[in-house]
Amino acid sequence: MLISLGLAIAQEPAPAQTQSTSDSRWFDDNRWNVFLTLVIIFFLIIYFIEKAKKGKNLFVRRIAGLDAIEEAVGRATEMGKPILYVPGIDDMNNIQTVASMIILGNVARTVAQYDTPLIVPIRLPFVLPVAEESVKQGYMAAGRPEAFQKDNIRFISDEQFAYAAGINGIMLRERPAANLFLGSFFAESLVLAETGFSTGAIQVAGTANIHQLPFFVVACDYTLIGEELFAASAYLSREPKLLGALKGSDYAKGIILAALILGAILISFNVEWFKDWFFVE
């Protein structure tokens, strides 16, 4: 039986060997439309960055949530109560946390002018020194470095709901007059927002995690929706790279929207060449 099995195996045809051919081209001619699109987008971003560096005033629409932050600071000052700033639960490799740190520096500068306590609970250890430096720079920009209190930048816990429970305890014990939730949030968003609402604080939230936006919308007074969080960081900091990237991406979106409208019109009249131009092989 072993001999017959060996003969059967020996009689099986060898698997066909496939030959691969190398392509000496440096650029795929079938994807030149993708290349051209990327060139246009990068050109717009670099163009506006250079304009911002030269001092050109790039218009950015005023966001209602930013006015709410100033209103919240004023209300906390009148009541003599602190402000709670929660920068989300993600690490510094998340762009939302980076934007939140930029906004935090500007909030700290405003708070320093009114001599209002600013409490910043932190979840991850690496975010802690960045938050401390952002707040410190904000106080220095306001001309009041001596008012900076390092102990108000508090490491709570790296566990998600232990962090949320710690923030809830701060809300219930210290009764901040304003709660600012700006950054990347997940399942703890509704817990934080509802607790803050029960204390009667004015609340401003902002996140690019769209699955958490409904909870902030129903429980907070103002909400920065999606990209408004990044636009707020560019608007407040006036950093040329942030402003240029914001304006360039907005113009790129406008071009894409115009192309969609034009394509819908042309395809309605059975004009196929414009649609084929966007096809990627």
What residues does 222 pair with on adjacent strands? Answer: 204
Listed in sequence order, the residues at least 6 apart from 226 whose beta carbon sits closer than 8 Å to its beta carbon are 208, 210, 213
**What is the full per-residue pLDDT of the chain (281 aa) written as tens digits?**
444 444 444 455 555 565 656 666 676 777 788 888 899 999 999 999 998 888 888 887 777 777 788 888 888 888 989 999 999 999 999 999 999 999 999 999 989 988 889 999 999 999 999 999 999 999 999 999 999 999 999 999 999 999 999 999 999 999 999 999 999 999 999 999 999 999 999 999 999 999 999 999 999 999 998 888 888 888 877 788 888 888 898 899 999 999 999 999 998 988 888 888 877 76
What is the pLDDT at residue 153?
A: 96
- For the chain, what are the domain ranges? 33-62+243-281, 64-237
64-237 — its CATH code? Answer: 3.40.50
- Give the model confidence (pLDDT) of 183-223 as tens digits: 999 999 999 999 999 999 999 999 999 999 999 999 999 99
What is the pLDDT at residue 154?
A: 96
Check: pTM over 0.85? Answer yes or no: no
Q: What are the start-end ranges of the H helices in the chain?
A: 2-11, 32-53, 64-79, 95-114, 127-141, 160-174, 189-198, 213-219, 228-237, 240-268, 273-277
What is the pLDDT at residue 17?
A: 60
Contact at 8 Å (CB) between 116 and 82? yes
Query: Measured between alpha carbons, how far is 240 from 48 in angstroms, rounded to an integer?
Result: 8
